[in-house]
Every structure is written in structure tokens, then in C-alpha cells.
Amino acid sequence: MWLYLSQASLHLRVHKPDRAPLELRAGSALSDGQWHSVDLISGQEHLTLTVDKDEGAQASPSFLVTPGGRLFFGGCPTKETNMECRNLFRHFQGCMRLITVNNQPVDLIKVQQRMMGDFTNLQIDMCGIIDRCSPSHCEHEGSCSQTWSTFHCNCSNTGYSGATCHSSIYEQSCEAYKHKGNTSGFYYIDVDGSGPIKPHRMFCNMTEDKTWTVIRHNNT
């Protein structure tokens, strides 16, 4: 059983010999530098994965899903060679807190003192991640996500492009569309380019010697 982050969503993969793999996905935009809660509840023919106490993903496996004898957080030890833990994914870079197993809190201080379990490349009682999305560097309502070392802006459906969604993908006038060889029709116009005014859909009436911009509105 593997629980991991991929494409800013939480994924659960369960593999049993001679069984079809079981996969669940929950949450979105989780790579935002904020804390998120994760609940994994397993019972007889019932499996639930929930993120941030919201409605999550559910499955009804025909087999009992149990964590096994040992639990590994953040990846597998490099010396681990048996099938109990396999590094199918890159190691985890991030922070965890308030870990509970079977409704019992895990005492990470005991882990630090090597009284329980073991660890490598782990900092306890601190979170070294830098919040790179608050405040967000993404303009024009672009969505921000981050890794341990950098951030990324998703500019989809904003009308802007670039590393921070700064550059408008639309022309500033009907005249500009005409110079590009376009003919009469509806176009999105961004009158202030990269400024705060959003693009608006307008009709450009183009003739050989003149160009009109037609703005339609509802005055009721």
C-alpha cells in the first residue's frame, strides 16, 4: 500500500498478489505550501481516503486492506531490499505533523531518540519549507503551486501567459487583429495589456479602410 502526492493530488495505491491494483485519488491543488489533513480509514470491504475533512474517495475492495507490520513515512530506507517497502516514487520533501495510527498518536520525539523506529534526513519539531504561494506571485488569478525549492503558476483559462501569468494572450484593439490578417468577427480585447482590466469579448467590424469596435451590453 502506497500513499503519495502526485500532480498536486493525493493518491492511494493498493497492490495484492493475484489481485487487480486498487487506486484512489482525493484532493486538488495540494502543493500550495499549506497544511492539509489526510484521513485513511480501512475496514472490511470499505476503504475511504479523505483530504481536509472534505468528501473524499471511497472503494469497496474484495479483500481486507491493512498497513502490514511496519509503516514507512517519506519513502523507503536505502538499505530496505525486501518487498515490504519499495521506492516506486521519489522521496518525499515536505512536512508532516499530528500523525496517528489506529487512533493512537505517534510520538516523534521517541523516534528522534531512537526509542521507536528509525529515521534518516529528518528534522523533528520544525518545518523547513518556505511558503512560496502566500502571497502568491501569480497574477490575474493564476493558481500557485510549489515544490520544496520553487513555485509554479498555472495560467489556464486566465487569458494570460508567462511564468507569473503576466502577459496577455489577446490583442489590445481590433486594429491589432486586423494587422495580423484577421477578418470581421468576435475577439477578446485586452485594452490595458497586462494591466488589471480583464479581457472582454467584442465584435470587430473590419473593412478595407476602416475598423470599428462594437461593444454589446445589456442595459436592463
DSSP letters along the chain, please? -EEEEETTEEEEEE--TTS--EEEEE-SS--SSS---EEEEEETTEEEEEETTS--EEE--SS-----S---SSS--TT--STTS---SPPP-S---S-EETTEE--HHHHHTTSSS--SS---S-------SSS----TTPEEEE-SS-EEEE-TTTTEETTTT-EESSBSSHHHHHHTT--SEEEEE-TTTTSSSPPEEEEEEE-SS-EEEE------
Cell of 138: 501569480
Cis peptide before 135 (omega within 30 of 0): yes
> Which class for 211: exposed (0-12), middle (13-18), buried (19 or more C-beta within 10 A)?
middle
| Stretch 98-127: mean pLDDT | 80
What is residue 78's predicted lDDT score, i.e. its pLDDT? 65
What is residue 154's predicted lDDT score, i.e. its pLDDT? 93
Mean pLDDT taken over the chain: 82
pLDDT digits (tens, 9 = 90+) for 161-199: 999 999 999 999 999 999 999 999 999 999 999 999 999
What is residue 65's predicted lDDT score, i.e. its pLDDT? 65
| Stretch 137-149: mean pLDDT | 89
pLDDT over 80 at 210, yes or no: yes
pLDDT band at 201 (very low <50, low <70, confident <90, very high): very high
pLDDT band at 211 (very low <50, low <70, confident <90, very high): very high
Task: Tell the CATH topology of 138-167.
Answer: Laminin (2.10.25)
What is residue 25's predicted lDDT score, i.e. its pLDDT? 86
Query: Whole-prediction pTM value?
Result: 0.59
| Stretch 9-13: mean pLDDT | 83
What is residue 182's predicted lDDT score, i.e. its pLDDT? 94
pLDDT over 60 at 220, yes or no: no
pLDDT over 70 at 11, yes or no: yes
What is residue 45's predicted lDDT score, i.e. its pLDDT? 72
| Stretch 37-62: mean pLDDT | 80
What is residue 179's predicted lDDT score, i.e. its pLDDT? 93
pLDDT over 60 at 101, yes or no: yes
Domain ranges in the chain are 2-112, 138-167, 170-214
| Stretch 61-72: mean pLDDT | 66
What is residue 79's predicted lDDT score, i.e. its pLDDT? 63
The answer to whether the beta carbons of residues 204 and 211 sit under 8 Å apart is: yes
| Stretch 37-63: mean pLDDT | 79
